[in-house]
Amino acid sequence: MDKFSFFSNILSFVSTFFENILKIATLLIPWYQENKRDLPWRATRNPYYIWLSEILLQQTRVAQGLPYYLKFVEHFPTIKKLADAREEDILNLWQGLGYYSRARNLHHTAQVIAYQYNCRFPSNYQDIRALKGIGDYTAAAIASFAFGLPHAVIDGNVNRVISRLFGIEKPINKPDGQAEIKIALEQIFDPSRPDIWNQAIMEFGALQCTPRNPNCTDCPLNTNCLAWSSKKVNIIPTKEGKTKVTPVYHSYLVMRLGSKTYIQKRETGIWKNLYQFPLIEKQMSDSEVINHFTEEFGIRKTIHLHSIREIEHILTHRKIFAKFYTISLNTGSEILKNNIFEIELDDLGKVFPTSVLTLKYLKQQKNCLQRMLIVNSI
């Protein structure tokens, strides 16, 4: 091949490439308008509601987050209402969603906006980004959706769509991969309508360009997709390394006195300010656990061990192996110490917010009791 032919082919390739980029931009928004889900936060420019939805949906599927969004809007219709709420009430509404630091940050930031910004949500990217609990993605989402500012969002869906369209094989969880994604995204981002464009590309990743088994055959962008043309859809995007999961051991003492039980308020960790049964956070044998608790509370002569229930609970970096030791007490007066207090068992998870792990235990206990009632009625 002579030099003229070589450079001619290069120019042809570059020309086709940029034509495809323009085609992506013109096809994406019509696809969104036809296929988008009807979600309440898309029907508003109220930055409070948009911020609330973004925080609730972090690490959370839309189907799971939507009921929580509706509950929060009902209970706290304004940012002032949220700011003035008790943290315990917020944690109660959040209960079951996990990642409770999000709820605490939500409350803190609501107070900052209410009392430092006079209930007016910051309207520029830098001030939004400076708020606690708000990162690059959330700041760009609020800036574009609420204020129409030209900031492109990059979340998991966008990473996947851009990686596949541009054939980016560098790991998306590494700086080099993110740098290529940002450069590629700039080529197709539409700054004249950033709100709808950002919604469109995220929705495209959620519904069309899915992590597993994407519908590439009927994809409107397949002729512009390098991963599709190179048969690499199933391996792009790539990630480097696996998240190390550390085993953690929890032993809980469930003390029962009739309908009563005994709980304490957690003061540290991811479940800070949630309520729990008395806890030992290390691996011990069953006899060691019982001896520890009976000596701590001085209840050796007043207990009867009913059951030991084992539950596994997976967090991002930890796998919790939990055991719940249920005992019956003859008296509870000596228990009310060491930040322990007495409640109705049914109030745990209702009046007193607790962790997803404890909710799992309570649900299993309730199901077990219902099965026993059914058997006894036969």
Q: Which residues are catalytic?
A: 54
DSSP 326-349: EEEES--GGG--TTEEEEEGGGBT
Q: What is d(CA 158, CA 95) in angstroms, rounded to the nearest whole number?
A: 29
- Measure Cα distances from 66 to 62, 72, 219 in Å: 6, 10, 27
Tell me phi and psi for residue 326, to 5 degrees: -100, 125
Residues 205 and 158 sit within 8 Å (Cβ to Cβ): yes
Tell me phi and psi for residue 324, to 5 degrees: -110, 115
Residues 116 and 65 sit within 8 Å (Cβ to Cβ): no
Q: What stretch of H or E contains 165?
A: helix 156-166
Q: What stretch of H or E contains 319?
A: strand 318-329
The 3-state DSSP class for residue 105 equals helix
| Residue of 287, 247, 275 whose CA lies nearest to 345 | 275
DSSP 265-313: E--SSTTTT-EES-EE-S---HHHHHHHHHHHHT-GGGEEEEEEEEEEE
